[in-house]
Amino acid sequence: MTGSRPLALVLVEMILLVLLGPLVTGAIQKMKARLQCRQGAGVLQPYRDLAKLFRKGTVQADTASGLFPLIPVLVLAATVAAGALVPVVRMGPPAFPLGDALMLLGLLALARFLTAVGALDAGGAFGGMGASREMTVAPLVEPVLMMVVFSTAVVAGTTELGALASSRGASWLLAWGAADFLGFAAMLVVLPAETGRIPVDNPDTHLELTMLHEGMLLEHSGPGLGCMLLASHTRQIVTLGLVSALFFPAGPWGGAGAAGLLFGAGSFAAKVLVLAIYLALVESSYAKLRLFRVPQYLGVGFVCAFMALALRIL
Amino acid sequence: MSAETVHTVIDDIGSLLLFTMILIVAAGQIYRAIYAVAAQSLLIAIAAAVLARATGNGDLWVIAAITLAVKAIVLPWVLHLVVQRMNVRREVEPVIPIAATLALAVLIVVVSFQLSASLGPVRQAITGNALPVGIALTLTGVLVMATRKTALTQMVGLFASENGIFFTAMAVTQGMPLIIEIGVILDVILAALVMTILVLRVRSTVDADIADLDRLRG
């Protein structure tokens, strides 16, 4: 099997994603703070938080089972493995059988499932509430992501993300079909939900009944909480990488040499930055939706994704 | 512009029109529906300009300008004014839940694509997806009219429906005679004026809304 991404490159990309994940969160928080006329913490604050958590000890609920300490590790592993499937600096299929976009979504769903199981396992009321809400939102978000992937995969004839991205070619915006606009709109609608942000979730609060993801993390502490946070940073950058691989795969014409790789890395950083600015703007300009209004909001994304698929097939 | 470019551009505008239609259906507040219908009219004007450029039909430039001025600016502004004057509740009041309306809208889009696919040779003569998109817009506009209680949101539905008819007519005929298009736009303006006056008068004399009228007994 010939491909343009050898194993070493895939591993480097994966590590890069994990290392840069907290930076994206920090950048979004900084932008939000500036938009709200606050000074805000530095963009490196998530790294400091992680470093602090990894130095701390662990406290565990008496009711938690033996599975509970394993949950953060498993969640982090699933999310990082999903990161290996996102093309970062170079497009094109990998040189060895890896997984495709469905595998990526499946791993993210696995991470979500494990998080919810961990929250229920600890036996706390908040955790159970958060898990139940997360499981209400997930069936609305995941099909949308699936359908958007399918609507682009129908044209490319493959669900492998690298190949999908390279089939778009260099003139991506000019080559956008009618369905791509709807698919991208669907992606923009579900992006805040998938990354756990306003208007679906609030990443800043731990003690409010409106929260989804943070509620599930309450029972974790120390290195375990650090793993969970790192996993959610990675999940965010992986989702942003998925969007940019599906819709703006700039970088395939950068050539094979070091200059091409640098160009690919630079364009990836630019794309993630643009999406991060979008998330910060949405978070600053909308209020958190009431939980019962969330299905209506996500319904817009669902309908857009469905129409994108219908436009491709019919 | 080559025929193929026009084809893709009309297709893209069609999908954006469908997106604005989804926004109109899903809008929980009257203002958002009004802005969405203004954006939709703007897209129609762009489509008219693209077709004018492609076909060299001078009338279509006039149509594009009139659409932009009347439907994208004046009518939304009038609606906005009415909402402010009436001091109504800003939320739209649906008869059936908005999620159900969205599902029906999806059904309409799929059905209209299926229907126009069965037209075969007729569809080949039409630019891009304009026919199914136009049918879908028209029917979804009717859906919005049927599922809203307040007169204002029904007006938004009417405008969206009218946009759909306009888009279809434009793409199918490559530009109708100017006099017909102007007649259609005058009709819309008149309808908007009559409905606005009616809504304001009904409200100021009996302080009732459309939804209350079903309690009338003859």
Contact criterion met (CB < 8 Å) for B102 and A182: no
CB contacts, 8 Å: B28 with chain A: 293, 296
Who among B11, B102, B109 is closest to A178 (CB)?
B11
Most confident of A25-29, A96-100, B186-190: A25-29
pLDDT of B218 strictly over 70: no
**Chain segment A251-304, per-residue pLDDT in tens:** 545 556 777 788 888 888 888 999 999 999 999 888 888 888 888 889 899 999
Residue A312: pLDDT above 70?
yes
pLDDT tens string A134-146 = 998 999 999 999 9
Residue B88 pLDDT: 67
Distance from CA of A307 to the nearest CA of B (A): 7
Rounded mean pLDDT of B44-69? 88
> Tens digits of per-residue pLDDT, A162-207?
888 877 766 666 677 788 889 999 999 999 999 888 888 887 776 6
Is the confidence at residue B116, as pLDDT, over 70? yes
Interface of A with B in 274-293 (CB under 8 A): 293
List the single residue in A176, A306, A307 with the smallest CB-CB distance to B12. A176
At residue B11, the pLDDT reads 86
pLDDT, residue B209, reads: 63
Contact A161, A104 (CB under 8 A): yes
Contact B22 A296 (CB under 8 A): no
Please report the pLDDT score of residue B36 as a whole number.
94
With a cut of 70, say whether residue A3 has pLDDT above it: no
Mean of pLDDT values over B138-149: 91
Question: Would you call A181 and B129 a contact, using CB atoms and an 8 Å cutoff?
Answer: no
Q: pLDDT value at position B217?
A: 67
What ipTM, to 2 d.p.? 0.83
For residue B129, pLDDT over 50 is answered with: yes
pLDDT digits 0-9 by tens, A212-222: 888 888 889 99
Residue of higher predicted confidence among A224 and B212: A224
Residue B208: predicted pLDDT: 61
Our count of domains for chain A comes to: 1
Q: List, for residues A225-242, the tens digit of each pLDDT value.
A: 999 999 999 999 999 999
* pLDDT band for position A1 (cuts 50, 70, 90): very low
A176 and B CB contact within 8 Å? yes
Mean pLDDT of chain A: 87
Residue A182 domain flag: yes
Do the chains contact at B98 and A295, CB–CB below 8 Å? no
Average pLDDT in the A25-34 region?
A: 93
Residue of chain A minimizing CA distance to B26: A300
Domain positions in chain B: 3-207
More confident residue, B13 or B87: B13
Give me the pLDDT at residue B211, please.
65
Query: Which pLDDT value is given to residue A207?
Result: 61
Q: Which domain holds residue A30?
A: 7-313
- Residue with the larger pLDDT of the pair B9 and A281: A281
Contact B26 A176 (CB under 8 A): no
